[in-house]
Amino acid sequence: MREFPFELALCAHLEATTDRLVARQIGGGVRAPSNRIIDVLCVEPGPAFDARTKLTGERIPAAAIESEVGVGRARYWRSAFDTSPEYAREVVDRAVEIGFFERERRGGREYVRQVARYPDWFGRLVGIENKPDLGEPGDLRTQLRKDVSLALVDEVVLATESYVTRAHLNRIPEEVGVWRFDAGELEVVREPTPLESDEAGTELVEEHAGRTDVRVVSADEKARRRRRMAERAYGKGWRTYEFPACAEIAPREGGLPYCRWKGRVVNPARCGADCPGHDPADPAEIDLDAERDSRTPWVADPAGRARRQAGLDRFRRDS
């Protein structure tokens, strides 16, 4: 199975069989977040998850959460941020837009406060590396060693469609769990070993010929990054695609993009007029947010809160 359809099928399965929030393509580094992208991130609801669902269905910018803006006395917006005025302005506007901040004016100045205290809403994070075909492992071993060494997530799992041999298991870190996922059935080949996510870790930042640059990442840095990852996953989910303008593409259970001409789930971003089966038509009508809302604990439109779909490139500092 191609990696994209495998990833979507696994996400749909995890969403249907667990109470975890499932998201795709989440930055999994601290000093260099984009150096490691986690294929699938599962976020377990924490003690105050219900309070988070009442705030907004969107990702809350990290700068808004980490600012000096609280729920008590409203603060002058500029003095509440340790960043450039331009970025602070952008963050305030976005936080107001999604309903996390409310603002008022006094004497020509703008003041803001949180509408509710930011809750302790998530528990364990599970990072999943997808490799449907273990016959083409690429740099799999190095990628998994990065995850284990940094221990930013609580567990690391390798998901594959291949039959898993002892030789395969011996080539990956022993802390990594292994799942075989095939035809909608998930078999746990090896349970993951819990990682020390609340302690300092070591991050591989850059590789050169004959040299590898690493950085020690403190427990506090990891905690901040974990919150950003959880927020990113909360707002993003895994249905981050749009249906193409082709009559052959129709939604399957859970909103999977199924191509009748090819007889399988496809990557909609690669659909186009150059496909021999392309049949121009309006895209299939489906509300992917509604699909997620109906199948998970996530709430798209909390009562009384604003919601507007944001582009995926908004607030890149949080990604």
> Where do the structural domains in the chain lie, given as residue ranges?
3-50+120-236, 61-114
Q: What is the pLDDT of residue 34?
A: 72
Q: What digits encode the pLDDT tens for the residues 51-99? A: 999 999 999 999 999 999 999 889 999 999 999 999 999 999 999 999 9
Q: Given this model, what pLDDT does residue 208 score?
A: 67
Give the residue-averaged pLDDT of 248-265: 93
Question: What pLDDT sits at residue 212?
Answer: 74
Q: What is the pLDDT of residue 123?
A: 97
Q: Tell me the CATH architecture of domain 61-114.
A: Orthogonal Bundle (1.10)
- The pLDDT assigned to 319 comes to 47
Residue 219: which region, alpha, beta or left (left: phi > 0; alpha: psi -120 to 50)? alpha
Has residue 311 got a pLDDT over 50? Answer: no
Percent of the chain with pLDDT over 90: 78
Per-residue confidence (pLDDT) for residue 124, from 0 to 100: 97
- Asked if 235 contacts 58 with a C-beta cutoff of 8 angstroms, the reply is yes
* Average pLDDT for 281-294: 94
In the prediction, which pLDDT does 210 show? 67
CATH code assigned to 3-50+120-236: 3.40.1350
- Predicted TM-score of the model (pTM): 0.90
More confident residue, 200 or 214: 200
Mean pLDDT in residue range 31-60: 92
Q: Please report the pLDDT score of residue 184 as a whole number.
A: 87
**Which pLDDT does position 205 carry in this prediction?**
76
207 has a pLDDT exceeding 80: no
